[in-house]
Structure 1
Amino acid sequence: MDQQRRIVCVGMCVLDVIHVVDHYPVEDTDKRCVTGYWQRGGNASNNCSVLQQLGGAHVEFLGMLSASPAFGFLCEDCHKYGIAIENCPKTEKDPPFSSVILNNETGSRTIIHSNPEFPLLEYKHLAQLKLSNYGWVHLEGRNPESVLQFIKDIRNYNKEMKNTINQIRISVELEKIKDEILILGESADIVFLGKDLATYLGWNQPEEAVMGLYDKFKPQAELNNSKPAIICPWGAEGAGCVDAQGNYCFVPSKKVPLIVDSLGAGDTFCAGVIHALQVLNKSLPEAVQIGHSVAGYKLGHRGYDNIKNFWQDQRENSK
C-alpha cells in the first residue's frame, strides 16, 4: 500500500461519559461508581483511534463537528491521536453524547445515547474530499441517499484508475436496525454486518447471517460482477465471513482471561480488520483473526491508549 494514502472513517464523533461500577445499580437508588471519566467516542471516531495506533497509514475522521465549547475536548483528542479532521464541517448545535455504565462484575457495557437532532453529513460534505488522497473509505451505515451518491463517485473514480493499486476500497458498517441501509452494503467491497441487525433480519447464526445477506445482494459490475465480502462478528464466539466469490468460513475468537473494558470492542475489531486488509495485505480470514486479536487486546485494557503496544506485545508473547 502507498503509505501516504489515507484511510478515512466517515460517521459520528460523540462524547462518552463513563461510570465504572462494581455491580449494576438497582433502579431508583444512589450509587457511587468505582471511577468515572469521559472520552471521545462514536463508531467512526473509535475506528480512527485504533487505526492510528496500529500504524502504517495516515488516518482521517470525517463527520459533523460541533462548535460548542464542550466539543473542544473531542477535537483536541483527535489532534492528540494524530487523526486528521480538517475536512469536517461544523454546526452550532450541541454535540451528541452517550452515558455509559461499565459493570466490573460481568464485563458488560450499557449505553444510553443522546442525539438531539444533530445534523448528519450531507453529500456536499462528502463530495469535497480529494479522492486521490485516499486508499480506503470506511462508512457508517446512515443517511443512505447521500452516502450512496458518494460511493458512486468513488466507483467512477476507480474506473479512471488504470492501475488497480490506485483504486479506493470501500467498507460499510451495517449496524443500525434499518432496512434502508442494506443498499449501502451492496455497493461496498467489504461489509461489516452487526449481530443485532442480522437477528432483526431473521438470521440467528453467523453463517445464516452472512450467507443470507450475500444471497440478497446482486452482483456489481463495479466489482467485476462479484459481490461484497461480508463479515459478521458474533460476540465472544467469533465471526462468520464470506468472500466475494461466496466462500464461507467461521473464524473463532480466543477467550479473553479478564474483561476490563468492553466499550468499543466492536469498533476495534472493525479497525483491526481494515488495517490487516489495507496495510498488511492479508486474506479475509487472516484479517478477521487479526481483528479478533486486536479487539481481545482492547478488552483487557481501559480505553484505547494501550493499543499502541499491541504489536510489541504480540511479538513478545510469540517468543
Structure 2
Amino acid sequence: MKKQIVKEFITVKRVRRLPRPPAPPAPPPPLKVLVVGRCTLDIITICNEHPTPGQVQRTTEGTWRLGGSASNVCIVLRRLGMECSFLGQLTSALTFESLESSFQAMGVGISTCPRTPKSPAHRNIVGVRGDDTHTIVEYSSPEHELTYQQFVGAVDYRKYAWIHFESRRPKETLRMLKAVQDFNALNPETRIVVSVDLNDMRPINLLMGEFADYVLVRSRLQTQYAYMNGRETVWAVREQMAVARKRWMASRAKKRPCVIKRELVEPAHEQSCALTTERQPIIIVENYSEGASCLMTDGVYFKVGAHTPQKVVDSIGEHDAFVGAFIYALLEPKLTLRDAMEYGTRATVLKIGDNGFDCLRRMPKDLISCYYTQQQC
C-alpha cells in the first residue's frame, strides 16, 4: 500500500511539471498612412473685406499655425484617431521648432523626415469673415521640396497601407509613384493604395494618375477652367489624362522592334509581349456645396448630396479635411466608396464651421452615427 501511494505521488508531480504551450505570436502592428508633401508656416489674417492696394486695415482676428496640404491631411487623420506619418522637408532652425513640436504633440510620425537648416516655406493667407474665399501669398522654392532620393531612403513600404501624394515637384513625384508601383508589382499580397492630390491641369501633373488608384481633384479647378458641374469636371480630367499620356508616349524614343519567329513563340510569352491597357484611376471632385462627384474606372458616374454649413468660420484646408476623412473612412470603418465620399463631405462641413481641425475630434467614427447625432456633421 505504501509503494502504491508513492507511485501515485510521483505521477502527479510529473503532470505538474509538463511544459506550458507556447504563447501565440504577437499580432502584426497596424499599417499606417503615409502623406508625402510639404510643411508650411501659415500666417492667417481675417478681414471684413479683401484689402485693396494701398489700403490699411486693422483686424483683431488672426493666427499662426502649422499648414500645408500634406500637413493638414495628417492633422485630420490624427483628429479622427488614425495612425499616420508625414514625409517632407523639415527645418532644423530653432526659430521654427514649434512646427516639429506640433507634429509630435499630435502623434504624427516624422522620424524619417530630412532636415534643412534653412527656414521653411510660409504662406500669408488673407480671409474674409463669413466668406469661403481667401487670398494666399506663398513663398517656396525647390529647396523646400522632397526629392526622389530622400523618399527612397526614408520609406519602408511594409509599414503602410496607403500613401497619399501632394502634387508638388511633378518630376520627382512621378519617380516616387513609379517606385511604389514597382513595390506593388513585386508584392501583390501587401499592395499599397496610392492617391494623388491634383491642384492643376498641367500635363505632367495629369500623368500622375497613371500610377494612382484615386485622383482627388480640388473644387477650385471647376471654377478656374469654367466647368459647369462636377460631372463635366471629372470627365474633363479623364480626357486630359488620356491626352497627356498620348503625348508622353509619342515623345518617347521609339525602340527598334525585335523580330521573333511565330512558331517559336510560346503562348505565355506571347501574352507577356502584348501592350498593356491604359490605367484608369478613380477620379473624385470634392465640392461640399454642390456634392462630391466620382468617375469610376469603367466610366460609371455617381454623386453624393450637397451639404450646407450653418456658418462659414474657417474655409482654409476644407479640401484637406475631405481627403483625410475619405482615406480614414475607407481604411478604418471600411465604408463603401459612396459612403466614404459622404463621410468626407460631412467632415468638410463640420470643419468649415469652426477654426482649425480640432472640431473633427467630435466627428462620429462611422456614417450611421452621423445620421442620428444631434450635432452638425
Q: Give the corresponding residue for 1:115.
A: 140
The one-character-per-residue Cα deviations of 1:246-284 (angstroms, maximum 9, x if unpaired) are 210122221111011111111111111111122222222
Compute the TM-score of the two structures, normalised by the length of structure 1. Answer: 0.89
The one-character-per-residue Cα deviations of 1:28-64 (angstroms, maximum 9, x if unpaired) are 2322213221000000000000011112x31111111
CA RMSD between the two structures? 2.5
Write the letter of the residue equivalent to 2:233: A
The one-character-per-residue Cα deviations of 1:41-88 (angstroms, maximum 9, x if unpaired) are 000000000011112x31111111122233211111011111111111
Structure 1 residues 252 and 270: CA distance shift in structure 2, 3 A:
same
Deviation at 1:195, TM superposition (A): 3.4
Q: Give the corresponding residue for 2:269.
A: none
Is the partner of 1:311 in helix, strand or coil? coil
The question of 1:283 aligning with 2:329 is answered no
Report runs of 4+ in structure 1 exceeding 6 Å deviation.
none
Deviation at 1:101, TM superposition (A): 1.8
Contact 1:47 1:270 in 2 (8 A): yes
Q: Give the number of the structure whose residues are more often strand, by fraction.
A: 1
Q: Give the corresponding residue for 2:191.
A: 167
Deviation at 1:236, TM superposition (A): 1.8
Is the partner of 2:112 in helix, strand or coil? coil
Contact 1:65 1:71 in 2 (8 A): no
The one-character-per-residue Cα deviations of 1:224-251 (angstroms, maximum 9, x if unpaired) are 9651100012462122111222210122
The one-character-per-residue Cα deviations of 1:155-210 (angstroms, maximum 9, x if unpaired) are 222223353xx210000001045331110122100001223445656744311221
Q: How does 1:1-319 map to 2 (within 5 A)?
A: 4-55=30-81, 57-128=82-153, 129-163=155-189, 166-197=190-221, 203-217=227-241, 227-234=280-287, 236-311=289-364, 314=370, 316-317=373-374
Is the partner of 2:57 in helix, strand or coil? coil
Corresponding residue pairs, total = 312
Contact 2:292 2:304 in 1 (8 A): yes
Tell me how far apart the structure 2 counterparts of residues 194 and 69 of structure 1 sit (CA, whole Å).
34
Structure 1 residues 93 and 256: CA distance shift in structure 2, 3 A:
same
Is the partner of 1:97 in helix, strand or coil? strand
Compute the TM-score of the two structures, normalised by the length of structure 2. Answer: 0.76
Structure 1 residues 234 and 294: CA distance shift in structure 2, 3 A:
closer
Q: Give the corresponding residue for 2:268.
A: none
Residue segments in structure 2 that go unaligned for 5+ positions in a row: 1-27, 246-273
Contact 1:174 1:197 in 2 (8 A): no
Residue segments in structure 1 that go unaligned for 5+ positions in a row: none
**Based on CA coordinates, which of the two structures has the bigger radius of gyration?**
2
